[in-house]
Amino acid sequence: AQSVTQLDSQVPVFEEAPVELRCNYSSSVSVYLFWYVQYPNQGLQLLLKYLSGSTLVKGINGFEAEFNKSQTSFHLRKPSVHISDTAEYFCAVSRAGGYNKLIFGAGTRLAVHP
Amino acid sequence: EPEVTQTPSHQVTQMGQEVILRCVPISNHLYFYWYRQILGQKVEFLVSFYNNEISEKSEIFDDQFSVERPDGSNFTLKIRSTKLEDSAMYFCASREGRGSYNEQFFGPGTRLTVL
Q: Which residues of chain A have pLDDT under 70?
A: none
Closest residue in chain A to residue B31, using alpha carbons only: A99
Cross-chain Cβ contact B106/A90 below 8 Å: no
DSSP labels, B29-57? --EEEEEEE-TTS-EEEEEEEETTEEEEE
Smallest CA–CA separation between A100 and chain B, in Å? 9
What does the pLDDT read at residue B82? Answer: 96
pLDDT in tens, B17-27: 999 999 999 99
Contact residues on chain B for A107, CB-CB shorter than 8 A: 42-43
> pLDDT over 90 for what percent of chain B?
80
CB spacing of B108 vs A103 below 8 angstroms? no
What is the per-residue pLDDT for B103? 85
Q: Tell me if B34 sits within 8 A of B96, measured CB to CB.
A: no
Band of residue B1 on the pLDDT scale cut at 50, 70, 90: confident
Share of chain B above pLDDT 70, in %: 98
pLDDT, one tens digit per residue, over A15-25 is: 999 999 999 99
* Cβ neighbours of B43 in A, within 8 Å: 44, 90, 92, 102, 104, 107
Q: Are A23 and A47 in contact (CB under 8 A)?
A: no
Residue B110: is its pLDDT beyond 90?
yes
Minimal CA–CA distance to B42: which of A93, A75, A114? Answer: A93
Closest approach of B17 to chain A, Cα-based (Å): 26
Mean pLDDT within B24-49: 93
